[in-house]
Amino acid sequence: MDSVDVEHCRNTAVKLARTAGEVIKNAWSKKKSIQTKLSQVDLVTETDVEVEKLLRSGFKEIYPDHRFIGEESSSAGEETQFSDEPTWIIDPVDGTMNFVHSFPYVAISIALTVNKEVVVGVVYNPILDQMYTAVKEKGAFLNDTSIHVTSKQELSDALLALEVGSGRDEKKMESVFTNLKTFIPICHGIRSMGSAALNMCHVASGGVDAYFESGIHCWDMAAGDIIIREAGGVVLHPSGGPFDLMARGVLCASSQKLAVSVSEKVNYINYERD
């Protein structure tokens, strides 16, 4: 990590996220070309691919030795190689379904890992012009304002976020319905933003108190991980064990007590690792 200037990396990521944001905004009201990936609701558009290429070449030019893991490169068959080397983990359009429907919750999610730890996180919603950033041990910000999780401890007065995700198989559906049945009667309310990265940023900035999902990938949650931790929150695996970027699940909350209460009740699925 000695050779990595994390502030410089954060500034580069912010700049590239703004450029990528222009691509998303330009495509926003135009007809989108849509293809499906692993299910009928797992979508990719030409904008996802264009933004990933833009980010990848942008980072490559400035940091030629850094590695890269991107949603669309992985979907196109590139093997995920996660090592101790500085690695950019990117979701070019988190919330592709929202993008397709012009529902204004889409984000470019960019994280830098060093020694397998996330040290920089940038999540940018270009439609609402909301830039969430965090650098290890330097706090978390929404635009230029410092953000913090709420102090909620009890499930009974917590607002939870969860997602249906992009699978519709029986096991997944059963898990989602079980969680709705479990949590609706015992918490304040349930929300679903359609973007894992933005759900995590809303935990970080106090809009919701906890969020969980299984089946997501490292690019959906890497930037959110550091943004929540730097905002004073807790990030775990849905089992209640330590967070593992490649383990396809996240449970994050405003406090350890709330995170444990959710983990004791949540139904999650163990997916094949990234």
Segment 58-77, which members bind ligand IPD (CB under 6 A)?
71
208 sits near ligand IPD (criterion: CB under 6 A): no
Contact call for residue 203 and ligand IPD (CB under 6 A): no
Question: Residue 241 carries which DSSP code?
Answer: S
Instruction: Compute the least distance from the CB of residue 112 to ligand IPD, in Å.
Output: 19
Q: Is 194 in the site for ligand IPD (CB under 6 A)?
A: yes
Give dist(CA 203, CA 205) in Å, integer: 6
228 touches 212 (CB < 8 A): no
- Residue 135 near ligand IPD by CB under 6 A: no
Q: Are 245 and 118 in contact (CB under 8 A)?
A: yes
> CA–CA separation, 2 vs 52, rounded Å?
28
Q: How many residues bind ligand IPD (CB under 6 A)?
A: 15
Residue 196 binds ligand IPD, judged by CB under 6 A: yes
Q: Which stretch binds ligand IPD (CB under 6 A): 211-219, 235-243, 246-254, 263-271?
A: 211-219
- Contact between 216 and ligand IPD per CB under 6 A: yes
Q: Is residue 195 within the footprint of ligand IPD (CB under 6 A)?
A: yes
Q: Is 52 in the site for ligand IPD (CB under 6 A)?
A: no
Q: Contact 118/142 with Cβ under 8 angstroms?
A: no
Q: Smallest distance, Å, CB 94 to ligand IPD? A: 4
Rounded to whole angstroms, the Cα distance separating 216 from 236 reads 14
- Looking from the CA of 183 toward its CB, the CA atoms found within 13 Å total 30
Report the nearest approach of ligand IPD to the CB of residue 193 (Å): 7
CB of 71 to ligand IPD, least distance (A): 6
Give 3-8's long-range contacts (Cβ < 8 A, gap of 24+).
4/86, 4/112, 4/114, 4/119, 6/112, 6/119, 6/120, 6/135, 6/136, 7/135, 7/138
| Footprint (CB under 6 A) of ligand IPD, residues 141-180 | 163, 165-166
Residue 244 · residue 200 · CB < 8 Å: no
Chain residues binding ligand IPD by CB under 6 A are: 71, 91, 94-96, 163, 165-166, 194-196, 213, 215-216, 220
